[in-house]
Structure 1
Amino acid sequence: MRLCRPWAPLVGLLVAGIILLSLSRLGLVIWQWDRVIAQKALTTVLLQGLRVDLIQMGLWLLPLALLAPLIAHDKTWRLWRWSLIIWGSLTLTVLAFMEASTPAFIQQYDLRPNRLFIEYLQYPQEVASTLWHGFKLPLILGLSLTLCVLMITWRTLKRRLPHHPPKGHSIRLLMTWPLVILLLAGMIRSTTEHRPANPAMFALTADPLVNSLILDSTWSVEFALYNLQHEAHSSSIYGHLSDQAMLATLRHGDMPWLNPNASLPTLHTQTATYARAKPLNLVIILEESLGAGFVQSLGGQALTPELESLKSQGWWFENLYATGTRSVRGIEAVVSGFMPTPARSVVKLSLAQRHFFTLADLLKQQGYHTEFIYGGEAHFDNMRSFFTGNGFDQVVDQNDYKNPMFTGSWGVSDEDLFHKTDQRLQQHTQSGQPFFTLVFSSSNHEPFEYPSGRIQPEGPIHSVHNAVRYADYALGQFFDQAQQRDYWHNTLFLVVADHDVRVYGNELVPIKHFHIPGLIVGADIQPRKIKSITSQIDLPPTLLSLMGINSQHPMPGRDMTQASQQAAQGRAMMQFADNWALMRGQAVTILQPEKPALAGRYDATTQSLTLTGTASSAQSRDALAHALLPAWLYQQRRYHLQADQPPMIAKQASNQSMAYK
């Protein structure tokens, strides 16, 4: 124990911080008792909350621990003592202030402080007025509590910290310093999984508020600040167009229904091509890393015979292109119909965690039960948080599988996934409620693990080719079973890849690796080949039309059930690193940061892109408008249903000009 004495001040701060945060969380739980109990999440909130608090305190204590060997000895003891007093007081004061701010923020936004907390600092007058007139008592109590914590912490540290170092202090500190740093690093990382802990890891219920109670408000805001540096790198790197010029360009091009003067410019009415007395159910199967190159013969033998056999039963998209190279990019396109940007996918961005359009949001308002089924951990890539905040009633992930037949690095096998899916679809059918189910596979993910005895592997067992064979086998087993179920005749199935397994090449945008398979089957769908160039963002509007759903939505994609769209040459948008491509037929326009747009031609037969020089002003303007739109819609929070208006301060809700420079 004597060895640990040099770290007593840090241990004291750790305990004080944990107590402060835990008491605040307990108070919030009591306040929101009905919602916590409805999710059966009391134990989860308290225990996982403690884990979050350890992460938070580790972040605050790490700077002191790193400095200790330099200043925690005889000659610099005074500096060390005052560092402890100032930093310790600042730590507990900030934590207290954020927790004191939380109840009022929850009342307004039904979540702990997040990105909006930071954004509203731009409007101090409006915020101060709102707080004083609407939250006067919480404001006074919060500021008083914060001031009390500051005074108590300051006085306690000044009184208890010695003015001179104890005997042997420096030696004991140096001996234990590596262990302390290791412990703090473990606290901060909080997991042995692929990535460190993040807020999405704690989105463990279907209620976003309950999920946010697990966090502490300081960490929530800190993570929002961290995300800001990624969001700042927006499509503006490609050039400048005023808002009105951007919207006008799109209106005279692909989006004639666009209303530049509306608060939600892309919101429009879509009338279903297929009129149905009762709309169909929907199941989207997102296949991990299944590029179009795999859905072909390799050395004379097809890698995906099951998918090949299904092609003759439904709509097969021969020229379908992914919008990006990550799963979350595929998710945002297929589930939200959102166009790609050079920033991270909206699945991971702060402003899209609530009040952002998804098919689930639309269908939920039409009485559908909505769910996401995954074989791995749903917090990965922030999926759980995005889904539960935007219309999904339920999330099924690895923790919900009892005795799976196989579990690999990325979760249970695709067979387990589809077995669970079949069970869920049968349950929904028995309940009589229409359903939308998003299924995301994971077996075709490096290190390519799958159950033995299902396929005849060739070459290295854990290769991508064998993983594709297994994924196809599992998919075929599911459809053989699904076609015998009652739900088959009133359910539409989309099978589509999120992206290719590896997108690479020496081209500015390796278009051939954006080519992916897409198939719509089920119900009364008749075989058809769609030859027009199609983007992932065209799939959601097409599905709604085939389901027989008339709707109003903000998706800019094309309804491929319309004969005019099938006859058109089509277009696709692709984001690759910092480059962005718009392909119309064979013509390609490529945008690069701080450079003129380039023109080129893509030969689908040879799968090669040939650059022909600088793009014309019309080509450049067309591509730039398409690249700027999604970033503008996201930043302005204008991509949602009319009835799902995000709360805003009046000034922020006003018509702002956002010219990109």
Structure 2
Amino acid sequence: MTRFAIARFFESYSKWFAHRFRWTGQYLTLVHLLLAGLVILSASRLALVIWQWDRVSGAAIVVSTFVQGIRADLILLGYLLLVPLALAPLSAFRPVQKWWNSGTAWWASAALTFIVFMELATPQFIMQFDVRPNRLFVEYLSYPAEVFATLWNGFRLATLLSLFGTVVLGFVLNRVFVASSARATPWPAKRLLLSWPLVLLLVAFQIRSTTAHRPANPAMFALSGDALVNSLIINSPWSVLDAVYSLRKEANSSEIYGKFARDQVFAQVKAAPWLKTYQFTSSELPTLHRQTPVRQRARPLNLVIVLEESLGATFVESLGGVPVTPELEKLKQDGWWFDNLYATGTRSVRGIEAVVAGYPPTPARSVVKLSLAQQNFYTLALGLGKQGYHTEFVYGGEAHFDNMRSFFTGNGFQKVVDRRDMRPRFEGSWGASDEDLFDKSLERLQQLHTQGKPFFSLIFTSSNHEPFEFPDGKIALHEPNKQTVNNAVKYADYALGKFIRAAKKEAYWKDTLFLIVADHDNRVYGDSLVPIKKFHIPGLILGADMKQQNITTIASQIDLGPTLLSLMGVTSEHPMIGRDLALDSSTPGRALLQFDNYFAWVEDGAATILRPGQPALLGQYDAAKGDLRIGTAAPTPAQVDRAMAHVMLPSLLYREQRYRLPP
């Protein structure tokens, strides 16, 4: 009975639509695609606005959200109409007409199924990244095993409902389109061929959506100071397709902010107070310079960097967060503690390029994943390896994830130790637990110490990653439900404390510098254009002869490399533009932040925000409150120049392969 009712519905609806729009001739299915797409995308936007009503109403652009949203939807649907429309003249010929109708119906149903899938996937993506699906959605598709494990263990019900909804709606849409297209009343060949150029021109203007010099793009719909609200105006399919298209232009990614003279880039960067006293030693490698360490040592120290997954200031009580890192709070009494350290981005690979390579962020993907950076790209491992250090990367998961193995082995890391080299007592979706990771690290450090060579070990944790899996009985849970971020952080902190206590008992402790730092915060969200507060991370340097000291000036992850080399006693030549905080930790600093397509230069309580295709904005940032307020005043030319130079530099160095050491 149900099947009969559904079949009757399909029959009745297809008859009604074909009759009502019979005047459209062969374009019936394309009109159907356009109208159905507008309905689906508008309904999705309405649901998202209701869900995020406080944010949308607070931005005071409720009407514009829907009006401009329809404009964005028309652009997307215009792109989807182009392929069948380009082939429409074929339907003027009777033998081909049936095949064109059928193919167009299947194309339309596939296009709307894609739209449905992306819109159904949107809420979970927003919960994680506080914007609609973007380039991160595409990047994660490269690692189906890890992503599926995370979705299955952390978002099982939502994933199943989304997939089920997509399949069901895809089936329904296909039935409807096939049935209605079969009832299309074809135009005579002459009428079709004469109308086709006009329809094609109309759709082209629909895609362009403006008479301005440049066609409309997602950046044009940034109408508020809240990145989430801006993303709700556009639609998820267009956001993702635009991200895929932008991957082709990554070498020139920073040019989205405008033009800036090449010589001015280098002049502005080298004018930084911490760089202007250095001697730049190569005309071919513009940022290469010689750094003399503040601490002179007969034998330079070893280096261990513990890169903590998603351990933002959000979870550190002394930095204004939740009290779930008691071990880290104790350890900060043993070394240099950073009160105002900021990550450069929101992904692990962005943290890796900043901490390990001292490389500033760009709107492109991290250089960890880009082709021109897979060989001879400067990292601490490459530099230290040339000075006789043994260098290695230790990770509890699969080292191929995010292209880490390729990047590390091509750029100075002599050995990679990952899940395959461990016998973990507990294994989650992302690999061995942090305890198992640290046990293996202790084993490796002891072996390296026995060999008598200086060493550099990068240890990357993963227990604090959704779906937050860790062994039972290790900690007193912060919350009753075990699989929460706060409990996972508390376990990660427990494992870290256990590792440092064990390392302190070993002979290499007095000869080794340890850096504990986060790659980024857990979830980056907030009602600011750039949620600067969520870039705040903890950092601690301890070991060897380090004494307790608080570094209060604002600092960036790119400052850590030069600071470590100086404390280790390593005389070096490198291209890093970060600040040696061992030389000066009292004068004002700055932070560089990349959030989606926005770049922020933060200094002296001011944030200069670069936007693609739009003028820069000036905001006032209250670090104590984590509050960013965008004012009406524009940034000064000097502020814009500093921001432009520092976002253009890494793109330029990557494109020309100049971020390296001399042969």
TM-score, normalization by structure 1: 0.62
Alpha-carbon distance in 1 for matches of 2:143, 2:593: 36
Match of 2:539 in 1: 518
Alpha-carbon distance in 2 for matches of 1:500, 1:628: 25
How does 1:16-35 map onto structure 2 within 5 Å?
Answer: none
Q: Is the 8 A contact 1:227 1:349 kept in 2?
A: no
Cα-to-partner distance string for 1:412-434 (whole Å, 9 max, x where unaligned): 00000000000000001111011
Cα-to-partner distance string for 1:447-502 (whole Å, 9 max, x where unaligned): 00000000111231100000000000000101111110111110000000000001
How does 1:177-196 map onto structure 2 within 5 Å?
Answer: 192-194=145-147
Match of 2:311 in 1: 290
Q: Is the 8 A contact 2:247 2:364 kept in 1?
A: no
Q: Is the 8 A contact 1:250 1:258 kept in 2?
A: no
Match of 2:375 in 1: 354
Q: Does 1:528 align with 2:481?
A: no
1:189 and 1:559, CA in 2 relative to 1: closer, same or farther beyond 3 A?
Answer: closer
Alpha-carbon distance in 1 for matches of 2:319, 2:557: 26
How far off is 1:249 after superposition? 2.1
Match of 2:629 in 1: 610
Match of 2:469 in 1: 449
1:461 partner letter: K
Q: Tell me the secondary structure at the aligned position of residue 521 of structure 1.
A: strand
Match of 1:538 in 2: 559
Cα-to-partner distance string for 1:219-272 (whole Å, 9 max, x where unaligned): xxxxxx999526156011111111112212223335324759811010000000
Match of 1:640 in 2: 660
How far off is 1:585 after superposition? 2.1
Cα-to-partner distance string for 1:88-130 (whole Å, 9 max, x where unaligned): xxxxxxxxxxxxxxxxxxxxxxxxxxxxxxxxxxxxxxxxxxx
2:253 partner letter: S
How does 1:358-507 map onto structure 2 within 5 Å?
Answer: 358-402=379-423, 404-457=424-477, 458-507=479-528
1:295 and 1:230, CA in 2 relative to 1: closer, same or farther beyond 3 A?
Answer: farther
Match of 2:639 in 1: 619
Alpha-carbon distance in 1 for matches of 2:533, 2:485: 18
1:459 partner letter: P
1:518 and 1:325, CA in 2 relative to 1: closer, same or farther beyond 3 A?
Answer: same
Cα-to-partner distance string for 1:311-349 (whole Å, 9 max, x where unaligned): 000000110000000000000000000000000000000
Alpha-carbon distance in 1 for matches of 2:402, 2:514: 24
Alpha-carbon distance in 1 for matches of 2:552, 2:327: 21
Match of 1:65 in 2: none
Match of 1:246 in 2: 265
How far off is 1:610 after superposition? 1.1
1:378 and 1:227, CA in 2 relative to 1: closer, same or farther beyond 3 A?
Answer: farther
Alpha-carbon distance in 2 for matches of 1:275, 1:297: 33
Q: Does 1:279 align with 2:300?
A: yes
How far off is 1:195 after superposition? 7.6
Alpha-carbon distance in 2 for matches of 1:506, 1:484: 46
2:621 partner letter: Y
1:195 and 1:248, CA in 2 relative to 1: closer, same or farther beyond 3 A?
Answer: farther
Q: Is the 8 A contact 2:335 2:549 kept in 1?
A: yes
Q: Tell me the secondary structure at the aligned position of residue 302 of structure 1.
A: coil
Q: Tell me the secondary structure at the aligned position of residue 334 of structure 2.
A: coil
1:389 and 1:343, CA in 2 relative to 1: closer, same or farther beyond 3 A?
Answer: same
Q: Tell me the secondary structure at the aligned position of residue 393 of structure 2.
A: strand
Q: Tell me the secondary structure at the aligned position of residue 312 of structure 1.
A: helix
Alpha-carbon distance in 2 for matches of 1:424, 1:528: 30
How far off is 1:611 after superposition? 1.4
Q: Is the 8 A contact 1:247 1:260 kept in 2?
A: no
Match of 2:39 in 1: none
How far off is 1:296 after superposition? 0.8
Q: Tell me the secondary structure at the aligned position of residue 585 of structure 2.
A: helix
2:431 partner letter: G
Match of 1:266 in 2: 287
Q: Does 1:578 align with 2:594?
A: no
1:462 and 1:604, CA in 2 relative to 1: closer, same or farther beyond 3 A?
Answer: same
Q: Is the 8 A contact 2:438 2:499 kept in 1?
A: yes
Q: Is the 8 A contact 2:442 2:503 kept in 1?
A: yes
Q: Does 1:234 align with 2:187?
A: no
Candidates 579, 584, 590, aligned match of 2:609: 590
Q: Is the 8 A contact 2:340 2:552 kept in 1?
A: yes
How far off is 1:376 after superposition? 0.2
Cα-to-partner distance string for 1:256-305 (whole Å, 9 max, x where unaligned): 24759811010000000000000000000000000112011799982111
Q: Tell me the secondary structure at the aligned position of residue 353 of structure 2.
A: helix
Cα-to-partner distance string for 1:586-629 (whole Å, 9 max, x where unaligned): 11100000111111111011110111232111111111011100
Match of 1:509 in 2: 530
Match of 1:82 in 2: none
1:281 and 1:621, CA in 2 relative to 1: closer, same or farther beyond 3 A?
Answer: same
Q: Does 1:553 align with 2:574?
A: yes
Structure 2 segments unaligned to the other structure (5+ residues) = 1-94, 100-140, 150-243
Alpha-carbon distance in 2 for matches of 1:439, 1:618: 39
Aligned pair count reads 428
Q: Is the 8 A contact 2:555 2:590 kept in 1?
A: yes
Alpha-carbon distance in 1 for matches of 2:490, 2:350: 24
Alpha-carbon distance in 2 for matches of 1:416, 1:559: 34
Candidates 342, 347, 350, aligned match of 1:329: 350
Q: Is the 8 A contact 1:454 1:470 kept in 2?
A: yes
Cα-to-partner distance string for 1:33-72 (whole Å, 9 max, x where unaligned): xxxxxxxxxxxxxxxxxxxxxxxxxxxxxxxxxxxxxxxx
1:522 and 1:510, CA in 2 relative to 1: closer, same or farther beyond 3 A?
Answer: same
Q: Tell me the secondary structure at the aligned position of residue 391 of structure 2.
A: strand
1:422 partner letter: L
Q: Is the 8 A contact 1:248 1:260 kept in 2?
A: no
1:567 partner letter: S
1:514 and 1:284, CA in 2 relative to 1: closer, same or farther beyond 3 A?
Answer: same
Cα-to-partner distance string for 1:161-180 (whole Å, 9 max, x where unaligned): xxxxxxxxxxxxxxxxxxxx
Alpha-carbon distance in 2 for matches of 1:598, 1:322: 21
User: What is the root-mean-square deviation in Å for CA atoms of aligned residues?
Assistant: 2.3
Match of 2:134 in 1: none
Match of 2:12 in 1: none
Q: Tell me the secondary structure at the aligned position of residue 590 of structure 1.
A: strand
Alpha-carbon distance in 1 for matches of 2:498, 2:143: 38
2:442 partner letter: D
Q: Tell me the secondary structure at the aligned position of residue 596 of structure 1.
A: strand
Q: Is the 8 A contact 1:319 1:515 kept in 2?
A: yes
Q: Tell me the secondary structure at the aligned position of residue 508 of structure 1.
A: coil
Q: Is the 8 A contact 1:591 1:597 kept in 2?
A: yes
How far off is 1:552 after superposition? 0.5
1:558 and 1:473, CA in 2 relative to 1: closer, same or farther beyond 3 A?
Answer: same
Alpha-carbon distance in 1 for matches of 2:260, 2:377: 24
Alpha-carbon distance in 1 for matches of 2:641, 2:601: 11
